Amino acid sequence: MSQRQVFNVFEQYQKARVQFVQMVAELANKPQNIEILQNAGVISLLRPLLLDVVPSVQQTAALALGRLANYNEDLAEAIVKDNILPQLVYSMTEQNRFYKKAAAFVFRAVSKHSPQLAQAVVDCGALGILVICLEDFDPGVKEAAAWALGYISRHNAELSQAVVDEGAVPLLVLCIQEPEIALKRVAASVLSDIAKHCPELAHAVVDAGAIPHLAQMIVSPNAKLKCQVLSALSQIAKHCVDLAEMVVEAEIFPVVLTCLKDKDDDVKRNGSILVREIAKHSPELSQLIVNRGGVAAVIDCISSCKGSIRLPGIMMLGYVAAHSENLAMAVIISKGVPQLSICLSEEPEDHIKAATAWSLGQIGRHTSEHAKAVAVTNTLPVLLSLYMAAESSEDLQVKCEKSMKNILQKCTHVPALEPLLHDAPPNILVLPHDSKARRFFVTSGGLKKIQQIKAEPGSLLQEYINKINNCYPEEIVRYYSPGFSDALLQRVDSYQPPTN
């Protein structure tokens, strides 16, 4: 065979390799082809091509492997078992930016499926090279590496701690300062995934100086970036008072409240979550939010959206109201109760209704004035119907029961109580075993109003009235019964004082 013939054979082989990896990469991009490729054992065929002398073959082989791993957990496990990951780590140190992006995509695709597969990526030594890639000159390489680190971090605290220990956080903070929006967004997402697990990891993000840079980006015109920034700040703030105060000190108010009016629903939701995570920690933080107009802004947000977007705002109102009478009154003054009542009636999802019921209970549990503010919106019959509905979830029934008891313990507005007497079970209506509560019900006129209700003898309504009366001494019930004062006057008229 001549030299020319050998060269032609080699050239044909090279073209065949290129055509093969290109075909596999294209087929792997379509879900309907995955099973065929899996049955053909294509992973084993691609493995030696990662060391091919032609760079484009190496890159395309890595891309094909990433697409296969991205499709399902079985293929990702096959890649791990075939010892492809260490080969990728070894090659990344010497290859160009295209190969680095493709290899990082494989790590990302494998990691996403489970903590075990993410741990396999860590065990093969990928973290070190991925962190080095965060310093690469090419923004695309940084972005691909950040994606992979994010998918590793999101599973649990142990994996996140491994990312932190490798020195990724300061470099991610630098990435959010880069001009590329896509890189900023992914870096913010990774910081969020790291911070979410525990206070220690959140502190690692804070100590790297992330908060001021994240806070500055709340005003970004890019909705996806704003979502990730708000999420990262929420994950930091949620753990404890100290972290929440650090977020507040970055002067996020009142700027963050503008997010509650954003056109993008995800921005609204994440903005509400951030306000909620801050408000839940202390009366002081809730008062700060009230002073900045946060309660009114959240109520407006709830009124302008539906479903799960409402949920964090609904819970935020409950957290604020739970802290003190004054803060609960701030929610009432801002007309939060009617809006919560609307949510309770119109939302189809039980978990949203349950959160709404809980928030209403936190508002109404403080004083008779608070309870009346809830009761006059006709909320109590709705809570009762949800409590008694067979199709209501257990959590919804529990929340409704507790909320009604919280409100009824303080409620002296009898027109709101009267409809309940016809339908409510005894565990809802019987006065608590609390002498102060029973005394308050008498002095506020509640017991007198109960005696004025006309019920048919032997009816269920009369039975409930009797159960309420049984909470008091007989002479007190007689004293407040209709006609008792006339009977006393008649006794005065007929009374004959003793003569000396």
Show which of 166, 201, 226 is a domain's final residue.
Answer: 166
For residue 456, pLDDT beyond 80: no
Q: Which of 325, 254, 346, 333 is nearest to 299 (CA)?
A: 333
Average pLDDT over residues 350-365: 93
Residue 89 within any structural domain of the chain: yes
Nearest to 477 by CA among 463, 465, 495: 465
Number of domains the chain contains: 2
- What pLDDT is attached to residue 40? 64
Which pLDDT tens digit goes with each residue over 395-429?
999 998 888 888 877 776 666 666 665 555 555 55
Half-sphere exposure of 87 (CA within 13 A, CB side): 18
Structural domain includes residue 159 = yes
Contacts of 490 (CB under 8 A, 6+ apart): none
367 domain residue, yes or no:
no
CA neighbor of 194 nearest in space, from 212, 171, 177, 224: 171
Give one word for 305, left, alpha or beta, with left for phi > 0 and alpha for psi -120 to 50: beta
Average pLDDT over residues 159-171: 95
Which of 110, 131, 166 is the endpoint of a domain? Answer: 166
Kindly tell me the burial class for residue 138, based on how many C-beta atoms sit within 10 Å of its own C-beta (0-12, 13-18, 19 or more): middle
- Is residue 7 pLDDT above 50, yes or no? no
Per-residue pLDDT of 286-335, as tens digits, reads: 999 999 999 999 999 999 888 889 999 999 999 999 999 999 999 999 99
3-state secondary structure of 342: helix
Q: What is the pLDDT of residue 458?
A: 72
- Report d(CA 391, CA 387) in Å as an integer: 10
How far CA 398 is from CA of 123, 392, 395, in Å, comes to 46, 10, 5
Q: Does 285 score more than 70 pLDDT?
A: yes
Q: How far is CA 67 from CA 50, 103, 372, 397, 496, in A?
A: 15, 11, 60, 46, 105
286 located within any domain: no
Domain that holds residue 39: 11-166
| CATH number of the domain within which 23 lies | 1.25.10.10
Proportion of the chain above pLDDT 90, given as a percent:
50
For the chain, the average pLDDT equals 84
Residue 92 lies in a domain: yes
Let me know if 197 is exposed, middle or buried by CB neighbors in 10 A (0-12, 13-18, 19+). Answer: buried
**Each residue's pLDDT tens digit, 84-118:** 898 888 888 777 888 899 999 999 999 999 999 99
For 216-248, how does the pLDDT look when each residue is reduced to its tens digit (9 = 90+)?
Answer: 999 999 999 999 999 999 999 999 999 999 999
Tokens of 37: 């490729």
Does residue 130 lie within any of the structural domains? Answer: yes
Residue 185's nearest CA partner among 232, 152, 132 is 232
pLDDT of residue 29: 67
In a domain, 128, yes or no: yes
User: Which of 148, 166, 184 is the C-terminal boundary of a domain?
Assistant: 166
Q: What pTM does this model have?
A: 0.81
pLDDT at 485 over 80: no
In a domain, 422, yes or no: no
pLDDT average, residue stretch 255-277: 94
Q: Where is pLDDT greater, at 187 or 431?
A: 187
